[in-house]
Amino acid sequence: MAVEFIDTMNSKLKAGHTAFLLSFNTDDRYFEAGKDKTPLPLNPFIASKFPDHDVAYFNMSTGLRPIIRPGDTKKSAFEISSAQSANSISHALSIVRGGANRILIFGFMDFLAPNASPEMLHPDTMRIIEYFAGLSQSDELRKLNSFVIGVAYTKAVQEIIRKTWCHINIPLPDEDLRKAYYELLSDKPGFAKLDTGITDAEYAALSRGCRLKDIENIMRQAHGESRSVSREDFNAVRQSTLNSLVGDMLVIRQPSGLTLDDIYGMDDFKSYIRSMVVSMA
């Protein structure tokens, strides 16, 4: 299931990693069926899975913001800052290094550390990349049980970051999670149910390739239009999700005898296409 990336992070932390790059399905809802009653966006979900850590989020539009969990009473070491520069990133990293059990999540790593040649980058961006490069398997952070996470929405992250940080692809939700999410929402007001003719098995096939937020949006829209969720709803949203996750990498051509195994790299894209083929079989 998609939330297994947390288990992977915990395993890699024990192996000494202190910097993680999350990619692919990073813009979704996350929860563990049977455990979490409230699905969460990525950053609050990460914070909920590391309850003993002080967690903050940084991007260039909002600056530094602590993530406060419901019921938190302890003051965060991360003070709110609207400064948006290489110096503000350096300051945020100094807070991570200043105490134990701290996590700093960087949003939009594609913008903070873009994959371009040095001569094309602004000097401040080069400084940021240098800061980030020194965070991988850091003895200093490891002793503090602290670490950093970068969240990417495309593949366009600086190569040195992709090579040195622990790269984890968050997969699309599996069948059990999609089923649990539908059951969770179908009991709530404001969400439509499936057409009576759609069986559990057919729902599993129709929703394969969908994010949880896609399922949520389908159910919201159908309710707003005073109707049940149809097969056409899923067919339409899967195409939209494909475009969102792989962008312009998909080019349709006549069969040539080649298979996906003949394509080098693009593992996220190939995994997505294979899941779609299975769902349509």
pTM of the model: 0.84
Say if residues 104 and 91 touch (Cβ distance below 8 Å): no
**What pLDDT was estimated at residue 269?**
64
Q: How many C-beta atoms surround the C-beta of residue 67 within 10 A? A: 19
pLDDT for the residue 88: 92
Helix axes 267-280, 231-246, angle to 10 degrees: 170
Could you report the per-residue pLDDT of 79-130, keeping only the tens digit for each? 998 877 789 999 999 999 999 999 999 999 999 999 999 889 999 999 999 9
φ, ψ of residue 63 in degrees (nearest 5): 80, -150
Question: Collapsing DSSP states into helix, strand and coil, what is residue 88?
Answer: helix
Question: In the chain, which segments carry CATH 3.40.50.300?
Answer: 4-170
Q: What is residue 275's predicted lDDT score, i.e. its pLDDT?
A: 60
- DSSP-H helix ranges across 187-226: 200-207, 212-224
What is the third-level CATH fold of 4-170? Rossmann fold (3.40.50)
Distance CA 143, CA 271 (A): 37
What residues of the chain score a pLDDT lower than 50? 248, 250-254, 278-281
